[in-house]
Amino acid sequence: ITKKVLMLPGDGIGPEVMRQVQRVMDWMAKKRDINFDVTEGLIGGASIDAHNNPLTDETLADAMAADAVLLGAVGGPKWDNLPFDIKPERGLLKIRKEMGLFANLRPALVFDALVGASTLKEDVVKGLDIMILRELTGGIYFGQPRGVEERDGVRFGFNTLVYSEPEVERIARVAFDMAMKRNKRLCSVDKANVLESTVLWREVVERVAKEFPEVEVSHMYVDNASMQLVRNPKQFDVMVTTNMFGDILSDCAAMLTGSLGMLPSASLGAADETGARKALYEPVHGSAPDIAGQDLANPLATLLSFAMMLRYSFDMGEDATMIETAVQNVLKGGLRTADIMQPGMAKVSTTVMGEAVINELNKL
């Protein structure tokens, strides 16, 4: 059975990094007889330009029908001054919500060859390997009521942070499952000394913990977590947190690695009766409009997002590992795109980097 993949290149450097994934797919078809049925679609600014809408019903239907979605990047200055309701980001938030992608997996990984790129000292980050689970379809991102209103002549802006017990339960379960596959340590991040919503969060995590007696669970306030990530990030294995805290902490953790251009992510929905989950994969970096279209972007985060797709959506762990190994070998060989360039290394283009990954795949 062929796997149906929807590709959403999006804006900025999205299309050019996506092309390198297409090459790896072609290689897999030829060399490993694995075929993907690929559809392309528009999202974000590209979709606004074409349809005045950052996510059309048609693209959403394609996403729902696909086995997995691969996204490039969304947004850019061209669309920055659009009203709140039709900004490119709206497309991203809508696709997450409509597909029910409640579990955002954000690995923060330091590649040995790139440890020097971090602003942190080598001993603090060498070997860093954290998995952050961010709740992605709830919390203050989606809570009602929300808006800006005038009351007695004074304007107020308001949002609602809300979590139900089942919402916390399902993300907690994904986090514990993940911890079981890793080093069996889970840190749940909340602000239970101030926010009642996260008092409930902590209570539910505690309850789910009973189902996973092998996992060592801890709780940390979000302000302390942001300090601990800087002080000693290697203390963490898996972290789980709310949508908003996850947005902040996962970006902080990503930057600890010093190579944002290397980091993939996955957003997963609930498993259906057959065990299949809706899923969307995307690099952590943005659309980088300043270098778009110049063959300068780093395609590795998108290739590694594709590897995550193979592992989580298609149970093709072996092929995922092949791609990851190929990427590591390319780095060891000294090739670097501009964003991860280091003295003494060879600076290459997006295309040459993609080519190099294929070459390494051929050697495996």
Residues annotated within a binding site: 76-89, 96, 106, 134, 223, 247, 251, 286-298
Q: What is the chain's length?
A: 364
Is 251 a residue of the active site? yes
195 exposure class (CB count in 10 Å sphere: 0-12, 13-18, 19+): middle
Window 252-291: contact mask with a copy of itself (x via CB under 8 A): x-xxx---x-------------------------------
Pick the catalytic residue from 191, 278, 281, 319. 191
Distances (CA, A) of 3 to 25, 34, 65, 272, 297: 11, 9, 11, 17, 27
Q: Which does 332 bind (CB under 5 to 8 A by kind): a copy of itself, ligand IPM, none?
A: none
Please tell me the distance from the alpha carbon of residue 196 to that of residue 253, in angstroms, as a whole number: 26
Q: Is 292 in the site for a copy of itself (CB under 8 A)?
A: no
Q: Is 236 in the site for a copy of itself (CB under 8 A)?
A: no
Q: Is 102 in the site for a copy of itself (CB under 8 A)?
A: no
| Cβ proximity to ligand IPM, 134 vs 311, nearer residue | 134
Is 223 a residue of the active site? yes
Residues that bind ligand IPM (CB under 6 A): 89, 92-93, 193-194, 223, 247
Rounded to the nearest 10 degrees, the angle between the axes of helix 300-312 and helix 317-332 is 160
Radius of gyration of the chain (CA): 20
Q: How many other C-beta atoms are found inside a 10 Å radius of the C-beta of residue 151?
A: 7
Q: Which does 300 bind (CB under 5 to 8 A by kind): a copy of itself, ligand IPM, none?
A: none
Pick the catalytic residue from 112, 223, 332, 347. 223
Is 152 a residue of the active site? no
- CB 27 within 8 Å of CB 58: no
Q: Is 209 in the site for a copy of itself (CB under 8 A)?
A: no
Amino acid letter, 210: K
DSSP string of 215-236? SEEEEEEHHHHHHHHHH-GGG-
Q: Is 146 in the site for a copy of itself (CB under 8 A)?
A: yes
DSSP 8-class letter at 41? -
| Cβ proximity to ligand IPM, 50 vs 194, nearer residue | 194
Binding residues for NAD(+): 76-89, 286-298
Q: Is 115 in the site for a copy of itself (CB under 8 A)?
A: no
Q: Which two tokens stand for residue 222?
A: 């979000």
Q: Which two tokens stand for residue 134?
A: 């961010």
Applying CB under 8 A, which of residues 29, 65, 230, 271 lies at the interface with a copy of itself? 230
Please tell me the distance from the alpha carbon of residue 95 to that of residue 70, in angstroms, as a whole number: 12
Q: How many other C-beta atoms are found inside a 10 Å radius of the C-beta of residue 343?
A: 5
| Cβ proximity to a copy of itself, 165 vs 211, nearer residue | 165
Applying CB under 8 A, which of residues 180, 199, 209, 338 lies at the interface with a copy of itself? 199
Q: How many other C-beta atoms are found inside a 10 Å radius of the C-beta of residue 290?
A: 11
Q: Which two tokens stand for residue 191?
A: 């602000």
Of residues 162-181, which lie at the interface with a copy of itself (CB under 8 A)? 162-166
Which residues in this chain contact a copy of itself in the complex, by CB under 8 A?
A: 84, 87, 89, 93, 119-121, 124, 140-141, 143, 146-148, 154-166, 191-201, 222-224, 226-232, 244-245, 247-252, 254-256, 260
Active site residues per annotation? 141, 191, 223, 247, 251
